[in-house]
Structure 1
Amino acid sequence: MNSARLHRLARHLRELAVQTTAAHDETLPSLSVLNIVEDVAHHPETPIGEIARRVGLAQSLVSKTVAELREAAVLSTRPDPADGRRVLVSVKPDTLEGVLRQRGKLPIGDTLAQIHPYLSAAQLRRTQELLDELAELLLERPEASRP
């Protein structure tokens, strides 16, 4: 696999994840919003500059998005006690429990079948097995071995 194909696959997997976790009647947020919320969920109490660095977006865009998500009661902010010029960003507990954790448990089978109707039942099962194996190989390493 080359890098161009890897990028296409990554975009496709992101779309699969978004479609799986989206409620049927809601407008899907942009990928930048999803990336910011996902990053903050994994790194609570983090400054905007660090979020921007990790997600690869301009700090001004992250700052604007955080303000919008704070107004929408998705994120919370508080002054950084170590540096009063910065704010620390977290996902609100009710959002984390009520939305992110529940949606994170949704199976992908129906969405996979909907996006790829040409795949047989056996191919859909194999695709899910391969995705599970890939996740195990790449994502579920012990903390001590992570860079």
Structure 2
Amino acid sequence: MNGLELLVLGRTLIKLGSTAMPTLGSPDAEMPASVRSVLVDVTQHPDSSIGEIAARTGFPQSHVSASIARLQEHGSVVTSPDPRDRRRTLVRPNPSAKQFLIVSGDPADDALLQALDDPRALPEVQAALRTLYSHLVRLP
């Protein structure tokens, strides 16, 4: 595989991932996949700091901070100072807005199936993606 093929594959995976990302209930509240990614992380890891979210998502801290501000304006998250270190901000889902995050059971399967010429290849593609993820993504 050369650099161009790797780049094309990466862009294709980004498009598929964006399609498979959970949505926010109302159409007027739709946000970019990168912002929704931050919200999914906050939902899965409540009371995380901006730095922890950045480390898990791979986004720059500035993007995470801007996403949190946008999600806070939308009412999806709430923030508070870390009682152990007042310089850090902790983020958690807004309990009254949780119902707006719509997550399906296997969110990537439908997007992958739509992209495949042969649906029987889904298990092989899923296995290959899991292998790539395990070798290339370094989470804290």
Taking a change above 3 Å as real, the CA distance of residues 37 and 81 of structure 1, as seen in their structure-2 partners, is: same
Unaligned runs of 5+ in 2: none
| Aligned residues between the structures | 134
What displacement does 1:83 show?
1.0
Residue 48 (structure 1) aligns with: 50
Does 2:101 align with 1:125? no
Contact 1:70/1:76 (CA < 8 Å) preserved in 2? Answer: yes
Show CA shifts across 1:33-74 (max 9, x none): 133223323432111123234434443332222121012122
d(CA) in 2 for partners of 1:3, 1:96: 41
Q: TM-score, normalised by structure 1?
A: 0.63
Contact 1:78/1:87 (CA < 8 Å) preserved in 2? Answer: yes
d(CA) in 1 for partners of 2:51, 2:40: 15
Contact 1:16/1:112 (CA < 8 Å) preserved in 2? Answer: no
What displacement does 1:97 show?
5.9
Q: TM-score, normalised by structure 2?
A: 0.65
d(CA) in 1 for partners of 2:111, 2:57: 29
d(CA) in 1 for partners of 2:104, 2:86: 35
Contact 1:44/1:91 (CA < 8 Å) preserved in 2? Answer: yes
Taking a change above 3 Å as real, the CA distance of residues 96 and 105 of structure 1, as seen in their structure-2 partners, is: farther
Residue 104 (structure 2) aligns with: 103
d(CA) in 2 for partners of 1:106, 1:58: 25
Q: Provide the secondary structure at the position in 1 that maps to 2:46.
A: coil
* Percent identity over paired residues: 32
Residue 61 (structure 2) aligns with: 59
Contact 2:81/2:87 (CA < 8 Å) preserved in 1? Answer: yes
Query: Which of the pair has more CA radius of gyration?
Result: 1
Q: Provide the secondary structure at the position in 2 that maps to 1:90.
A: strand
Q: Which amino acid aligns with 2:125?
A: L
Q: Provide the secondary structure at the position in 2 that maps to 1:29.
A: coil
Unaligned runs of 5+ in 1: 141-145
d(CA) in 2 for partners of 1:94, 1:7: 40
Higher RCO (CA < 8 A, seq sep 6+):
2
RMSD: 3.6
